[in-house]
């Protein structure tokens, strides 16, 4: 089983990214559960998206520790979500620079960063980091294909979102 946690604020596309990721994994042949927990569905409130996938049917509703954590907003507290990561988890931060957090080293987490806000603004003229973050994930978890992820991006400005996705794929850097 592989599990994903997407963490950000309402209005950053966390819910959309969660649904796209779940659909892409399902299209790739996995059994999938995905859901979102949000702070009253309002812009700016914390949002957590969860996806778990496995070849076998998923019979449990338990939340395993995350194998991948995508942090959309660096102003949110990180201790709780970093502690929800598995031992070999990969963390992607939406940050323009290296991220230093004591738990990264203590928990031996591999981490990456990219400036998804800037990428999204360059293409969409708004801060909507979800497609750039999914691009970074596609680079780090090749079992979810770029083709499947892009196939579920049925949104306005589709070509601009594809460009943001590709830029996120190219620009994820090791922390």
Residue 39: CB atoms within 10 A of its CB come to: 12
Residue 11: CB atoms within 10 A of its CB come to: 16
Please tell me the total count of domains within the chain: 1
Could you give phi then psi for residue 167, rounded to 5 degrees? -65, -40
Could you give phi then psi for residue 46, rounded to 5 degrees? -60, 145
Inform me whether the pLDDT recorded for 10 exceeds 70: yes
- In this prediction, residue 153 has a pLDDT band, given cuts at 50, 70 and 90, of confident
- In this prediction, residue 92 has a pLDDT band, given cuts at 50, 70 and 90, of very high
Inform me whether the pLDDT recorded for 156 exceeds 90: no
Q: Whole-prediction pTM value?
A: 0.94
Looking at residue 130, its pLDDT comes to 96
118's tokens: 């800037």
Could you give phi then psi for residue 21, rounded to 5 degrees? -60, -45
- In this prediction, residue 69 has a pLDDT band, given cuts at 50, 70 and 90, of very high
Domain that holds residue 126: 2-174
159's tokens: 């070509």
CATH number at residue 55: 3.40.920.10
């Amino acid at each position: 089983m592989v599990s994903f946690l997407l963490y950000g604020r309402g209005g950053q596309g966390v819910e959309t990214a969660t649904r796209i990721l779940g659909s892409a994994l399902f299209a790739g042949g996995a059994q999938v559960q995905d859901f979102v927990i949000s702070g009253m569905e309002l812009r700016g409130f914390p949002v957590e998206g969860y996806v778990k996938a496995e070849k076998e049917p998923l019979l449990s509703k338990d939340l395993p520790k995350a194998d991948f954590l995508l942090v959309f907003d660096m102003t949110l507290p990180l201790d709780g979500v970093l502690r929800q990561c598995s031992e070999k988890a990969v963390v992607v931060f939406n940050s323009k620079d290296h991220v230093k957090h004591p738990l990264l080293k203590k928990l031996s987490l591999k981490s990456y960063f990219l400036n998804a806000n800037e990428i999204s603004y360059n293409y969409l003229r708004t801060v909507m980091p979800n497609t750039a973050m999914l691009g970074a994930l596609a680079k780090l978890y090749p079992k979810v294909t770029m083709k499947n992820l892009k196939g579920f991006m049925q949104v306005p400005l589709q070509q601009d979102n594809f460009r943001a996705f590709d830029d996120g794929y190219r620009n994820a850097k090791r922390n």
